[in-house]
Structure 1
Amino acid sequence: MTRAFLSSGDLIADRRSHYAEMMFEAGDHAAAADLMRQALEIVPDWVPGLFRLGEMEEKAGRLEAAAEAWRGVLRADAQDRFGASLKLASLGLTAQPDAPPTAYVETLFDSYAPTFETALIGKLDYRVPEFLAEAIAQAGGERRFRHVVDLGCGTGLMGERLRASTSFLEGIDLSDAMLRKAEEKQIYDRLEKGDVNELEKPTIPADLVVAADVFVYVGNLDRAFANVSGMLEPGGLFAFSVETHETDGPSEEELVLQPSLRFTHSAFYIRRLLERHGFEPLEMSRAVIRYDRGEPLTGIVTVARRAALVAMAGSPDEPIALEERPN
């Protein structure tokens, strides 16, 4: 979203911002920022341009100028659709938030929807649906699921792998544009707009809830795990992925906002929350789940079973081994 060009409504300002983008791509970040400032002199209320100016100033090493631009974005857009508060936190200028602004996540994926699958599969070697499908099959054997909920279903990449093994497939996503893309595939029995932190308990409990590459845009997972526990019947499976920032074991950095504005989670944090919300981990494996700017991103693929009672769940002090998943 942040690289996408959004018109200012003024032809001259748009031309200067286009030139700024050309300079930025050429590596002259300071010149790019100067050109973007000229565009903003023409249209000072252009919020997307002001946010982009902050990114250019950041790359130019002028962090205070970047921060001032993002503070201006927050003054102009209280919903923070561009994630300016996350940018400030990533520079250490404000405290790390527990979660990204809802409007930011919704806007981000509305803008991603047209090119989402092409970018993830064709350019980033995205493998989360593949890994989760394999982990679910291993944990569930030949089991056919009655009611599957695909949280953060996006365009349906995970749903395509779930369809054959479920009688009723439900997709939930925060982005209207993503839901429209998913609807085109005609693989879901029901699609709904929703936030993983605000889920209601279904009339008929699910026996599988999947969240593929969702929690990087949620942050603190306590409410999400509680909601999933409430959606699942005893013995139901919860399969999900996270990006991670460390190898294993207790860590003070259980939850970290990365420069990418995605959150990473430690294995210890995941185990602790599973235990708290009545889940028994069946598999936790580490794998390269995608690439970002040519660099591999490591994630944790997890399948857990909801226990009948919270007290039946295992202790995070005696965790199952975190294995390396072959790539």
Structure 2
Amino acid sequence: MPVVGVPVGEGVEAALAAAQEALYRDDRTAALAHARAALDLDAGVGEAHALLAELLADQADGTAVAHARAAVAAEPGRLEWQRLLAEALASDGQVAEARAVAAAALDRRPDDAALHRLLARLLLAVGERDGALSHAREARFLAPRDLSGLASLGHVWREAGEPLLAAEVLEPALRQAHPMDPARAAAGVALARAWIELAEPRKARDVLEAALEADPADTAGAKVLLDGIDGSGGELTPAFVRALFDQYADRFDQHLVGKLGYGVPGKLREALGRLGLVDGAGLRVLDAGCGTGLMGVEARGLAGTLAGFDLSPRMVEKARARGIYDRLWVGELVEAFRAEPGAWDLLLAADVLVYLGDLDPVMRAAAAALVPGGRFAFSVERAADGFVLQESRRYAHSEAHVRAAAEAAGLEVEMLEPLVPRLDRGKPLDGLLVVLRRRSAPSSARPDISG
């Protein structure tokens, strides 16, 4: 019996040719009909199964996986069909099998960028960040001008906590791309998401507007992101701070101390001395936002145990190289304070709170972290009122805001005085040096942090 749409006597090849022609015209409905017609003529045709697997990839009923399996069964040696099966399995949530299929295919073709991109996504989905980044690096090396592939990698880098890398790769790739490249919109959205995480709403807006111009149908979803930017407030995100200091780590000490006259660690140590804290005090000290360890050098004499953390892994590496800390880790400020309640005699935050807006959450977390009578010593840049995000991408805080946040958290102001933390464009920056003391006593139990 003749198949509808297929000339009598021309059979499977005619059906497949008609399916490809329909795809060229972007007529997916006709392409599906012709591919199914080919299978009606011969149920074992791998080309038809592969085509149906691609066309049905957005279905959540396992049909794409079934057709991809059939294609591989028809011709096990076809690498592109093995990749197709891995993609279908991944979309269907069968991550373990998808990973096994992709890895086996990659063993045969280690230079396949698409397989590296797929494995990067799969590894990230199961929390294997380092492996994911390794495959992403290889995929970029193998296909440095594939804008569609770079857009996919952009999401991997961002979700792995590397939005700066995504921006550094995608921005020049978009500049160099052909104006008619169909991947421009998807790459633009990937870049915009990175800029949003890096607290760069203006850059994100520009990219999203260009993405909409390239694809008025907005298949990449630029409009939703664009609508949300104006309400974001431009707050600094942890990703922005981490990215900033990861790229700054190697020249941090030389630039900050040598060129900007940064002296907050020494001034905080001197202030604590005026309050009676002397070397040999044996305190349990936590250096929050430790950076390369400049504050740790000043505080080591006060400490029986000196711990530190920073959002930037590269900064933590630099601090570890000094050999002065008993514990170091990568962490976020409020979370780290909350993690060990009543554990610390002294919290230090030298030039750290400038990356936070409202100080109320960090004050409450600090109060919970301190023992009775414990101290929280830090610096801020001074604002006239409340807190404000400056052009420098750093927050300034007013004295009134510091006092109010401390009072609400049960911390009393033991010292609050003017401070010049560093130079800004050759001029002294207006700041405050603050030491707070925990008033009310939490539980007397103090966990051992020596490990």
For residues 175-199 of structure 1, what are the alpha-carbon distances to aligned partners after superposition, in whole Å with 9 as ceiling and x for unaligned?
A: 1000000000000000011101222
SS of 1:140's partner is coil
* Aligned amino acid, residue 284 of structure 2: H
Structure 1 stretch displaced more, 175-184 or 214-223: 214-223
User: Are residue 42 (structure 1) and residue 176 (structure 2) matched?
Assistant: yes
For the structure 1 residues 149 and 128, does the alpha-carbon distance in structure 2 shift closer, same or farther, using more than 3 Å as the test? same
For the structure 1 residues 42 and 211, does the alpha-carbon distance in structure 2 shift closer, same or farther, using more than 3 Å as the test? same
Select 2:263's aligned residue among 127, 148, 151.
Answer: 127
Note if contact 2:193-2:204 (Cα within 8 Å) is conserved in structure 1: no
Rounded to whole Å, the distance in 1 between the matches of 2:203 and 2:432 is 25
User: Are residue 174 (structure 1) and residue 311 (structure 2) matched?
Assistant: yes
Rounded to whole Å, the distance in 2 between the matches of 1:244 and 1:258 is 11
Note if contact 2:196-2:204 (Cα within 8 Å) is conserved in structure 1: no
For the structure 1 residues 228 and 293, does the alpha-carbon distance in structure 2 shift closer, same or farther, using more than 3 Å as the test? same
For the structure 1 residues 184 and 95, does the alpha-carbon distance in structure 2 shift closer, same or farther, using more than 3 Å as the test? same
* Aligned amino acid, residue 264 of structure 1: A
For residues 23-76 of structure 1, what are the alpha-carbon distances to aligned partners after superposition, in whole Å with 9 as ceiling and x for unaligned?
A: xxxxxxxxxxxxxx998531489xxxxxxxxxxxxxxxxxxxxxxxxxx67863
Q: Compute the displacement of 1:227 (Å).
A: 1.1
Q: Compute the displacement of 1:219 (Å).
A: 1.6
Rounded to whole Å, the distance in 1 between the matches of 2:426 and 2:260 is 8
Note if contact 2:195-2:204 (Cα within 8 Å) is conserved in structure 1: no
User: Are residue 291 (structure 1) and residue 423 (structure 2) matched?
Assistant: yes
* Alignment match, 1:197: 334
* Alignment match, 1:217: 355
* Alignment match, 2:246: 110
SS of 1:289's partner is coil
Q: Compute the displacement of 1:94 (Å).
A: 3.9
Rounded to whole Å, the distance in 2 between the matches of 1:218 and 1:86 is 20
Point out the structure with max Rg over C-alpha. Answer: 2
Rounded to whole Å, the distance in 1 between the matches of 2:238 and 2:296 is 23
Note if contact 1:81-1:107 (Cα within 8 Å) is conserved in structure 2: no
For residues 261-285 of structure 1, what are the alpha-carbon distances to aligned partners after superposition, in whole Å with 9 as ceiling and x for unaligned?
A: 1110000000001101111111101
For the structure 1 residues 222 and 103, does the alpha-carbon distance in structure 2 shift closer, same or farther, using more than 3 Å as the test? same
Note if contact 1:152-1:171 (Cα within 8 Å) is conserved in structure 2: yes
SS of 2:325's partner is coil
* Aligned amino acid, residue 153 of structure 1: C
* Alignment match, 1:277: 409
Note if contact 1:209-1:228 (Cα within 8 Å) is conserved in structure 2: yes
Note if contact 2:288-2:308 (Cα within 8 Å) is conserved in structure 1: yes
* Aligned amino acid, residue 100 of structure 1: L
Rounded to whole Å, the distance in 2 between the matches of 1:174 and 1:202 is 18
TM-score by length of 2: 0.49
* Alignment match, 1:19: none
For the structure 1 residues 122 and 94, does the alpha-carbon distance in structure 2 shift closer, same or farther, using more than 3 Å as the test? same
* Aligned amino acid, residue 267 of structure 1: E
* Alignment match, 2:107: none
* Count of equivalent residues: 243
Rounded to whole Å, the distance in 2 between the matches of 1:98 and 1:140 is 41
SS of 2:420's partner is strand
Rounded to whole Å, the distance in 1 between the matches of 2:352 and 2:178 is 35
Q: Compute the displacement of 1:212 (Å).
A: 0.4
User: Are residue 304 (structure 1) and residue 406 (structure 2) matched?
Assistant: no
Note if contact 2:308-2:328 (Cα within 8 Å) is conserved in structure 1: yes
SS of 2:196's partner is coil
User: What's the C-alpha RMSD, in Å, of the aligned pairs?
Assistant: 3.0
* Alignment match, 2:344: 206
Q: Compute the displacement of 1:309 (Å).
A: 5.6
Q: Compute the displacement of 1:294 (Å).
A: 1.4
Rounded to whole Å, the distance in 2 between the matches of 1:73 and 1:301 is 42
Q: Compute the displacement of 1:99 (Å).
A: 4.2
- Report sequence identity in percent: 39
Q: Which runs of 5+ in 1 are unaligned?
A: 1-8, 11-36, 46-71, 311-327
Please give the residue correspondences for 1:256-275 in structure 2 after superposition, counting only pairs within 5 Å: 256-275=388-407
Note if contact 1:145-1:207 (Cα within 8 Å) is conserved in structure 2: no
* Aligned amino acid, residue 120 of structure 1: L
User: Are residue 84 (structure 1) and residue 221 (structure 2) matched?
Assistant: no
Note if contact 1:128-1:289 (Cα within 8 Å) is conserved in structure 2: yes
Rounded to whole Å, the distance in 1 between the matches of 2:199 and 2:426 is 24
Please give the residue correspondences for 1:248-259 in structure 2 after superposition, counting only pairs within 5 Å: 251=385, 254-259=386-391
* Aligned amino acid, residue 175 of structure 2: E
Q: Which has the higher helix share?
A: 2
Q: Which has the higher strand share?
A: 1
SS of 2:271's partner is helix
* Alignment match, 2:367: 229
SS of 2:358's partner is coil
Q: Which runs of 5+ in 2 are unaligned?
A: 1-143, 146-170, 180-187, 206-228, 443-451
Structure number with the bigger relative contact order (C-alpha 8 A, sep ≥ 6) is 1
* Aligned amino acid, residue 117 of structure 1: D
* Alignment match, 1:23: none
For residues 122-161 of structure 1, what are the alpha-carbon distances to aligned partners after superposition, in whole Å with 9 as ceiling and x for unaligned?
A: 1000011111111111123437142100000000000000
SS of 2:374's partner is strand
Rounded to whole Å, the distance in 1 between the matches of 2:357 and 2:203 is 15
Rounded to whole Å, the distance in 2 between the matches of 1:197 and 1:203 is 12
* Aligned amino acid, residue 226 of structure 1: R
